[in-house]
Structure 1
Amino acid sequence: MFTEAVLADGRRALIWPLRADDREALREGYEHLSARTRNHRFLTGVPHLTDFMLDHLVDDVDGVDHVALALVVLDDDNVGTPVGVARMIRYEDRRTEADLAVTVVDDWQGRGVATALLAELLRVRPVGVTRIVTTVAADNAASLAMVRRLGETTTTPAGPNRLDVVVDLAPPDAGIGETT
């Protein structure tokens, strides 16, 4: 099952749930991220995704408490290029709250990939999740702007170059940035 999306520049894209057979594509894609993008994703220098990390990032995706989506941009010949992944992971001890992570290949940042992924992620998010609770690099202006479009947002310092971010999400049927 996939969803079609149109990016800000008019390019067509497909979004689908991350599958077990996407494991090596995820590993390979990570190798092409800049050190800055890697640091923003994990808030520390992670030079390569380990098998242990991939177990969590791919194998633990269940579509219920851990939802992960991939976005592939289509060229004029309908050949796809993977350019982004977004995920929401419900906290086991706080069933209405979830962590959020979005990773976009450097060359595709600022082109609407994260916006498209988040719109779909919010639509298929874990049932009952009403709040995002995550940590973001304080110098990651794009991520901070992205989460602020999701709902009422509170940020508090959480250490050197880190912010704890809480977002009260709009109801599941409202779009990004819309309020009811």
Structure 2
Amino acid sequence: MIAEARLRDGTRALIWPLLPSDREAVRERYETLSAETREHRFLASVPHLTDAMLDHLVDEVDGIDHVALALVVLDDDNVGGPVGVARMIRYRDQPEAADVAVTVDDAWQDRGVATALLAELLRARRAGVVQVLTTVAADNEASLAMLRRLGRNTVTPAGNNRLDVVVDLPDVPPGPDRSEDVGP
């Protein structure tokens, strides 16, 4: 599945599944993120991705219970580079619920990358997944706003600068107007 997207500023992008061959690119892109973006992603100081983390983030993606998508922006020559990754991981003990995480390069934040990725991620979610259960940093306003756009929210304190968020997902995922899929 490859989908086309346009960001808020009109930038053209493609969204496709993260592949095992993307392992080193994920590692390299993570190194370019600010300390704040890294901490918001993992709710802890994680200066570098370990091999074990990459095993989980890349190698364990199965496209069913662990879906991960990359957004690549295109220039006028249709050459692009990845600027964001979103993932949804279904809980084994709660098959109707999943966690979500989105990481966007600092220079591309607040431009609609997360919105485009989440719209496509919700389309790709496993049948029967009707809730998102996740924990976010209380000061991560961008993530909280993103989760509010997904559906009805319940937010509860979860300890030191953390919030647990439950989102009831709609049948039809929200998001910007999308082009038809352009791949197999």
Pairwise TM-score range, normalised by the shorter structure: over 0.9
Partner of 1:144: 144
Cα contact 1:66–1:126 (8 A) shared by 2: no
Deviation at residue 74 of structure 1 after TM alignment: 0.4
1:80 counterpart letter in structure 2? G
Tell me the alpha carbon deviations over residues 133-160 of structure 1, each in whole angstroms, 9 at most, x when there is no partner.
0000000000000000000001100011
Higher relative contact order (CA 8 A, sep 6+): 2
Equivalent position SS for 1:62: coil
Equivalent position SS for 1:94: coil
Give distance in 2, aligned partners of 1:73 and 1:21: 19
Tell me the alpha carbon deviations over residues 30-88 of structure 1, each in whole angstroms, 9 at most, x when there is no partner.
00000000000000000000000000000110011000000000011111111000000
Equivalent position SS for 2:84: strand
Partner of 1:63: 63
TM-score with structure 2 length normalisation?
A: 0.94
Partner of 2:33: 33
Partner of 1:86: 86
Give distance in 2, aligned partners of 1:41 and 1:80: 24
Equivalent position SS for 2:128: coil
After TM superposition, the structure 1 = structure 2 runs for residues 69-148 of structure 1, keeping only pairs within 5 Å, are 69-148=69-148
Q: Flag structure 1 segments of 5+ consecutive residues without an equivalent.
A: none
Tell me the alpha carbon deviations over residues 74-110 of structure 1, each in whole angstroms, 9 at most, x when there is no partner.
0111111110000000000100000000000000000
Aligned residue-pair number = 176
Partner of 2:2: 2
Percent of aligned pairs with the same amino acid: 73
TM-score with structure 1 length normalisation?
A: 0.96
Q: Is 1:159 the equivalent of 2:159?
A: yes
Deviation at residue 174 of structure 1 after TM alignment: 4.0
Cα contact 2:88–2:125 (8 A) shared by 1: yes
